[in-house]
A and B are shown apart, each in its own frame.
Chain A
Amino acid sequence: DVKVTQSSRYLVKRTGEKVFLECVQDMDHENMFWYRQDPGLGLRLIYFSYDVKMKEKGDIPEGYSVSREKKERFSLILESASTNQTSMYLCASSINTEAFFGQGTRLTVV
């Protein structure tokens, strides 16, 4: 059974903290993605990676960075968390036609 696993379901962090969101997939997929989901805005792409050590900016990369040191792991980093980064974060991996999503991490920045 295919699996995309996000390390936390819920996270509460303070403003200014450095935050790491981890995502691991077991399908040997080349492509991995980080989205944030907000009501009325749908999913917006933050960053994606199509190979190890490769990364591309999505539509809303400001305030975020990513790391892909191994094929199965794609990390999203909030360098200095702010309250407007409170959101649901979804990781996905894909090959060809289908993207598989993790369960999401609901991050609250206080």
Chain B
Amino acid sequence: GEDVEQSLFLSVREGDSSVINCTYTDSSSTYLYWYKQEPGAGLQLLTYIFSNMDMKQDQRLTVLLNKKDKHLSLRIADTQTGDSAIYFCAESGDYKLSFGAGTTVTVRA
């Protein structure tokens, strides 16, 4: 959606770190999310961060939030072929989620 922007493609070598970036416009967002979509599947919640936090780590995933710049990033350490997917950034407002266009991550050997 136009309220959430992210780059469309990212190519990364297996074993390297991936960083996916996202910017959003709604300063009242309570939560910000990263979803993963594998081919032919629905969306799966990867992780989320509350708006009063600036970092969250969960195994290979690190989420950084810069609330002043309204910038969110997802870092995947030691990227594997199974990480190839579309990654969506989303923000919550009222009852609904607003999604970015999705970043297609391709992991090459």
Residues of A within 8 A of B (CB): 4, 31, 33, 35, 40-45, 48, 50, 56, 58-59, 90, 92, 94, 97-104
Contact = CB atoms under 8 A, between A and B. Distances in A.
Contacts of B101: 40-42
Contacts of B99: 35, 42-44
30 contacts: A33-B96, A33-B97, A42-B1, A42-B4, A42-B88, A42-B100, A42-B101, A42-B102, A43-B43, A43-B99, A44-B1, A44-B99, A45-B97, A48-B95, A48-B96, A50-B95, A58-B96, A59-B1, A90-B43, A92-B97, A97-B48, A98-B45, A98-B48, A99-B45, A99-B97, A101-B42, A101-B43, A102-B42, A103-B42, A104-B41
Given A43-B88, A99-B45, 8 more contacts: A33-B97, A40-B101, A42-B4, A50-B95, A56-B95, A90-B42, A94-B97, A103-B42
A97 B49 CA distance: 10
Contacts of B29: none
A42 to B, nearest CB: 4
B44 A40 contact: no
A57 to B, nearest CB: 11
Contacts of A50: 95
Q: Is the interface of A mostly helix, strand, loop or mixed?
A: strand
Q: Is the interface of B mostly helix, strand, loop or mixed?
A: strand
A9 to B, nearest CB: 9
Contact of A103 (B4, B41, B95, B96): B41
B32 to A, nearest CB: 11
B6 to A, nearest CB: 8
Contact of B98 (A4, A45, A100): A45
